[in-house]
Amino acid sequence: MEPSQRHVRLMGGRSNPFQTLFALFITALFFMFFQASILKNLQRQQQMLINSGSEVHNKGKYSHLGQMAVAPPEIARSVHPKFAQKLMKEIGMKVNGTLLRGVKKEHRKYYVPSKEGTFTCLSGNQTVAWISVNNDYCDCADGSDEPGTSACHNGKFYCEPERHFLPSSRVNDGICDCCDGSDEWKGVTVPPDLELPVSEGVQLAPCSDTCRDYDHMKLREHNILKEAASLKPLYIEKGLGHGGENYGPNGEFYFLTKKCYVFKSPGYMYELCPYANATQNGKDSWLIGTGGKLEGNVEDGYNLVMGDGKGDHCPQGKKRTTIIAFTCGVEDKVKYVSEKETCVYGVKFDTPAACPDLETIELT
């Protein structure tokens, strides 16, 4: 064999190092591209789950479909071992892949998977799979499995900063009800062609955090309540000897019988004399209530029902009635009057007589 032919054969049988490096480089590029594609798909799926409100990613890790009814007070004894120690501390916002939107902090201990991977409805008589919590489908008859969505007609969403519940129908409706905007977590916006009544203080999604303004407002309201409650003893003093069912426990509403109060609306002039009579004056004058029966209590609020008004033009011959809702305020003042229904008039009336005791306000 000629030397030149031997050289060609040796060259053909030996691997070229440059070709090997190039092949490795191409392989690495394909691998990196493949990994990036997988990561992107996972991120997209996770975002879709968050946006949809279901957030079932990783929910099934500790879930089985065994059924075991557990009443809320006993739920701490049946939680998955992973969460047993956490119950001694404050449960976080996220539990086993589920965001506990709309759940009051002290109620989060009830929103943990049981040993069987189930959730017990807060009524205590129904159990559903853990993946059913906040998945935008109502499973519990009491609506407690959907605290963060609008799936249940009887559900409630808790606004933590304001410490009050909202009907679930107001969750993700495009209107910011919680000062931190937590009720509009989907970012749903109201269609521009939908006409909504313009009102001061109504904020549309996307929401901004206005809790600092809310805190200032509540502090101001609290100070006003304290000032008003400090005046209540004067009303009790004026009502000495008149305490009882119709003038309040200590006769505090008796002082309101000594004066009449005027309110002017765009169409009418109203004159309200509590426990005596109420009139609506315009082109014609109508007696819209007489006398007065006090209902309610200081916790739920007092109403003075003044019935037996004039019955002309009222349906089925019923007589006009005025209902005065007393609220705590620093002065005796009619805030507004509205005809709640035909021949029934609603009045909001501020007065120190309706305030709780000063000691009660200072404890809140």
DSSP string, 222-275: HHHHHHHHTTHHHHHHHTTT--SSSS-TTSTTGGGGG--EEEE-SS-EEEEETT
- Residue 185 vs residue 221, higher pLDDT: 185
* DSSP E strand stretches across 55-155: 94-95, 98-99, 118-120, 127-129
User: Residue 37 region, left (φ>0) first, then alpha (ψ -120 to 50), else beta?
Assistant: alpha
| Range ranked top by mean pLDDT from 15-19, 22-26, 217-221 | 217-221
Alpha-carbon gap, residue 246 to 243, rounded angstroms? 8
Domain with CATH 2.70.130.10 in the chain: 231-363
Q: What letters, b where the CB count within 10 A reaches 16 and e where it falls short, cover 91-130?
A: beeebbbbbbbbbbeebbbbbbbbbbbbbbbbebebbbbb
Q: Are 76 and 113 in contact (CB under 8 A)?
A: no
The 10 Å Cβ neighbour count of residue 31 is 10
Cβ burial, residue 201 (10 Å; 0-12/13-18/19+): exposed
With cut-offs at 50, 70 and 90, classify the pLDDT of residue 15.
low
Q: Are 278 and 322 in contact (CB under 8 A)?
A: yes
pLDDT tens, residue by residue, 205-252 = 889 888 888 777 778 888 899 999 999 999 999 999 887 789 999 999
pTM of this structure? 0.48
With cut-offs at 50, 70 and 90, classify the pLDDT of residue 40.
low
Q: Which CATH architecture has domain 231-363?
A: Distorted Sandwich (2.70)
Alpha-carbon gap, residue 233 to 223, rounded angstroms? 17
288: pLDDT strictly greater than 90:
yes
What percentage of the chain carries pLDDT values higher than 70?
A: 76
Cβ burial, residue 165 (10 Å; 0-12/13-18/19+): middle
Alpha-carbon gap, residue 217 to 179, rounded angstroms? 12
Residue type, 157: F
Q: Which DSSP category does 114 fall into?
A: B
Question: CB neighbours of 183 closer than 8 A, spacing ≥ 6?
Answer: 102, 157, 159, 166, 170, 171, 172, 176, 177
With cut-offs at 50, 70 and 90, classify the pLDDT of residue 88.
low
66: pLDDT strictly greater than 50:
no
Alpha-carbon gap, residue 78 to 294, rounded angstroms? 49
The enclosing H or E element of 30 equals helix 17-52
350: pLDDT strictly greater than 90:
yes
pLDDT at residue 33, as a whole number: 65
